[in-house]
Structure 1
Amino acid sequence: MTEARFDDLTTPRPTTIDKRRAEHKDPARLSSTTDQRLLDSRGPGDWVHSDAWRVQRIQAEFVEGFSVLAEIPRAVTVFGSARTAPDHPDYATGMALGAALAQAGYAVITGGGPGIMEAANRGCSEAGGLSVGLGIELPFEQGLNPWVDLGVGFRYFFARKTMFVKYAQAFVCLPGGFGTLDELFEALVLVQTGKVTRFPVVLLGSSYWGGLVEWLRHTALDHGVISPKDVDLIHVVDDVEEVVAIVERGFQDLVER
């Protein structure tokens, strides 16, 4: 068995924490990630033969995620940039959102990293709510932020994405980059195709998100690749209280179904 195969199939990873912090890895030492090695088709032929065994690792990530998160209270997943500094206005907005959701009785789920994720976790935790972080193995941005009360570490993006959706009643996106856009559009596809129902998708910050929504409402819609009702799946707001109101309406619709 090669060293690379041994690393992928048997080495420990950050697992569940409860009021504890995952170990931070030295980014310089993490030359590749499990996702990268799984998806990279190049390399020695013996690497291919280990793919079937990786199914057990993938299964273990799903099982752990399901078992740890199954009994959390109703929750909202919050996305946003990991690059947002604590002195940026968006960080303050993230804290206010986390606190408001906690006060409304929701746990807050984030990717567990810095920036907006940290802000939402911090606001929730300081307001007495349950702050959840779902970390991911990356060559950078390692470990969970210090405001995560309950955390799970993942090596596979697709397992982690399932947990973001399965245990949340809504998605809220603050300003963010490719990762935030990825999660936003994945959520929209799931709602559009009926894979999840009664699932509000809220964009907080019209000055940031307005251009994207206008592109969808005009360019994409005029091109015939989406329908008017698809654009209506998105709520664009500037007020934290309005976010909570939208989330509450969605939750009540779900209860009354």
Structure 2
Amino acid sequence: MLDHEIESLEEFDDVVEATGSLSGWRVQSVDLRERSAALAAAETDGTVFLGCAMAAEAVVRVQEGGGLVFPPVPELPFNPYRGRLYAPDELFSGLAEGYEHTPDARSYAWFQRTKSDGDVFSSMLRAVHDDAVSDALDEQLVGARVVGVMGGHKLARDSSAYASAARLGRALARTGHTVATGGGPGAMEAANLGAYAAPFEDGMLGKALEMLSSAPSFEESVGEWARAAFEVREGWPGGGASVGIPTWFYGHEPPNAFAQHIAKYFVNAVREDGLLARSNAGVVFLPGAAGTVQEIFDNATPNYYQSRGAPTPMVLVDEEHWTRTLPCWPLLQALARDRPMASRIALARSVEEVPETLARLTG
């Protein structure tokens, strides 16, 4: 499928200069107020402009030429037509004035006000936003070997389990995988931190963990928790990339600042399914509670019914947790019996075993 999306002013100029036509293109969230002449000269039959700022006369000209214009929506804390994933700096902009002033917190507050008001316009904006995020996520992950890392959100930064999850993220990134998590705190943040630390010397991670221990949990102060992460990023700029896929449905859990690319959704079901479906190189399940248990079987179900291709590798970490505390492993084995997925599941005793286990399952 050809890419017919224009997501920057540079791309807009390149297309117009090369062809003189915008017919059939989708232009997402590009400020075109200085491009009225180009819009007047270009063919716009079948062009769709999503959230593009334009002069009033340019809007008339585009519509007369057969184009559709979906104008920007004023006074929203988010852009429903965005063409790119979020970055931590964007979601936490204004953090110095307090977390409540950030776009992330204001978007959550808007969601809380509108999620049950029955307003079809609000629900449409959420749907358009989430679809735009999914499109941007697919573009970001083209050709990537994605390993999803699942685990509990309450894992404190000063715990040994958090450090282990960070080492796992680092190991996966260093073997060429793209680490993808639920994008929140706890084990999710730790895996994103590990991927961020991957390009640096090994000692960097220990120093980062020490700095983060000053704000071990987001529950006491989201602001202090987030600021500690940005201090690490400032100390070691240009870290490794990874993906976080959080949700405003659980907006009381902030996104973490170590995922370079953030696909944040309003609808949690779309987020959960999308994270698992895009983990094409395997999913690792660290110790967790109800949410992680749900994710195990959300991933196991399509594997169980897989009729084409190979099931997604699944690695559960910590034998004690998954066989006794929350005995998901015996049930997973029972489901896998006599199914193709039987050769694609494994129980690892520690995170150190995970890279080799994934390699064996995919080999």
Please state which band the TM-score falls in when normalised by the shorter chain: 0.7 to 0.9
In the alignment, what sits opposite 1:204? 317
- Name the structure 1 match of 2:219: none
What one-letter code is carried by the residue in structure 2 that aligns with 1:12?
A: F
Cα 1:88/1:214, change in 2 over 3 Å:
same
The equivalent of 2:159 in structure 1 is 88
TM-aligned CA deviation for residue 108 of structure 1: 0.8
TM-score, normalized by length of structure 1?
0.74
- Does structure 2 retain, via aligned residues, the 8 Å contact 1:199–1:250? no
Structure-2 change in CA distance of 1:63 and 1:206 (3 Å) = same
Deviation at 1:192, TM superposition (A): 0.8
Unaligned runs of 5+ in 1: 1-6, 253-257
Query: Residues of 2 paired with 1:194 and 1:140: CA distance?
Result: 36
Change (3 A) 1:214 1:235: closer
Please show how residues 12-161 of structure 1 align to structure 2 within 5 Å.
12=78, 16-18=85-87, 20=89, 22-23=91-92, 26=100, 30=108, 33=111, 37=115, 47=119, 55-71=127-143, 73-128=144-199, 129-137=240-248, 138-142=250-254, 144-160=255-271, 161=273
Checking the alignment, whether the CA contact within 8 Å between 1:108 and 1:120 is kept in structure 2 is yes
Alpha-carbon distance in 2 for matches of 1:238, 1:111: 23
Question: CA deviation digits over 1:157-206, x for unaligned, max 9?
Answer: 23323144224310001011222122211111111111772411111111
Whether the aligned pair in 2 keeps the contact of 1:20 and 1:149 (CA below 8 Å) is no
Match for residue 3 of structure 1?
A: none
Q: d(CA) in 1 for partners of 2:168 and 2:359?
A: 14
Q: Which has the higher contact order (CA 8 A, sep 6+)?
A: 1
Q: 2:282 aligns with which of 170, 195, 199?
A: 170
Quote how far apart the aligned CAs of 1:102 are: 1.6
Q: For residue 65 of structure 1, what is the amino acid of its counterpart?
A: L
Cα deviation, 1:33-63, whole Å, max 9, x if unaligned, reads: 47x93xx6xx65xx46876776544432322
Q: CA RMSD in A?
A: 3.4
Read off the aligned partner of 1:209 and give its amino acid letter: W
Query: Shift of residue 79 of structure 1?
Result: 0.6
Q: 1:112 to 1:249 in 2, by over 3 A?
A: same
The separation in 2 between residues aligned to 1:32 and 1:50, in whole angstroms, is: 10
Match of 1:242 in 2: 353
- Larger mean CA deviation between 48-57 and 158-167 belongs to 48-57
Cα displacement (A) at 1:64: 2.2
Cα distance change on mapping 1:214 and 1:184 into 2, 3 Å: closer
Q: Work out whether residues 200 and 246 of structure 1, in 8 Å CA contact, stay in contact via their aligned partners in 2.
A: no
Equivalent position SS for 1:17: coil
From the CA coordinates, give the structure whose radius of gyration is larger: 2
Count of residues in Structure 1 that have an aligned counterpart in Structure 2? 231
The correspondence for 1:185, drawn from 264, 286, 297, is 297
Tell me how far 1:11 sits from its aligned partner: 5.4
Q: 1:177 to 1:245 in 2, by over 3 A?
A: same
- State the partner residue of 2:20: none
CA pair 206-33 structure 1, distance change in 2 beyond 3 A? farther
Query: 1:216 Cα deviation (Å)?
Result: 1.7
Q: How far off its partner does 1:127 sit?
A: 1.3
> Separation in 1 of the partners of 2:132 and 2:106?
27
Where structure 2 has 5 or more consecutive residues not aligned to the other structure, the ranges are: 1-72, 200-239
Give me the whole-angstrom Cα distance separating, in 2, the residues matched to 1:250 and 1:234. Answer: 7
